[in-house]
């Protein structure tokens, strides 16, 4: 058994949710039907928080006033969001460096013919910009070992790339 406030809130929800939903639905524009449930929920949250302020003789009108304010706040938020989005410039639709490299079939074929370790060290160096010191840290090896791995991977890549160009 709940408190008298809980019981009153349940009764208010049962009796007035549909009229509140209908009120909001009729005035929803520029919002969408997808926003309706959120608006009803926000209205009921306000009613729950202010249950002691709901007048006994004017429950529905008071709740409609709350719904009106909730709707106005949602419209303002949408307006601000739309205005903000209109100030953003669209990023140019340019392919990434990786896309440009992989688009070249001979480069792609040469990379795919390498083992995973060689491919990883080359990509970390070329695409992620890691030098031999940073490669050593990323791969948990010494800087000297990273330099050797990179040099050998580059040599193997050059061989495979040259072979792919001949075909």
pLDDT, tens only, 3-59: 999 999 999 999 999 999 999 999 998 899 999 999 999 999 999 999 999 999 999
pLDDT of residue 161: 86
Contacts made by residues 96-101, CB under 8 angstroms, sequence distance 24+: 97/127, 98/127, 101/126, 101/127
- Please say if the pLDDT value at position 165 is more than 70: no
pLDDT at 101: 59
The backbone region for 133, taken as left when phi is positive above 0, alpha when psi lies in -120 to 50, beta otherwise, is: alpha
pLDDT per residue as tens digits for the range 52-89: 999 999 999 999 999 999 999 999 999 999 999 888 87
**Amino acid 104: pLDDT:** 73
Residue 166: the pLDDT is 63
> Does the reported pTM lie above 0.75?
no
Name the DSSP class of 92. P
């Amino acid at each position: 058994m709940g408190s008298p406030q809980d019981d009153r809130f349940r009764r208010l929800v049962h009796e007035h949710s549909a009229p509140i939903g209908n009120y909001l639905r009729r005035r929803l524009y520029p919002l969408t039907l997808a926003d309706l449930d959120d608006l009803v929920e926000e209205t009921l949250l306000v009613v729950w928080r202010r249950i002691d302020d709901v007048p006994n003789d004017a429950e529905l009108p008071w709740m409609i006033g709350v719904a009106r304010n909730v709707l106005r706040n949602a419209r303002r938020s949408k307006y601000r969001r739309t205005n903000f989005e209109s100030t953003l410039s669209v990023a140019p639709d340019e392919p990434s460096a990786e896309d440009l490299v992989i688009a070249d079939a001979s480069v792609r074929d040469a990379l795919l013919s390498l083992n995973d370790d060689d491919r990883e060290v080359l990509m970390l160096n070329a695409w992620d910009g890691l030098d031999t010191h940073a490669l050593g840290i990323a791969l948990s090896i010494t800087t000297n070992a990273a330099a050797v791995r990179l040099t050998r991977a580059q040599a193997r890549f050059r061989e495979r790339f040259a072979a792919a160009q001949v075909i």
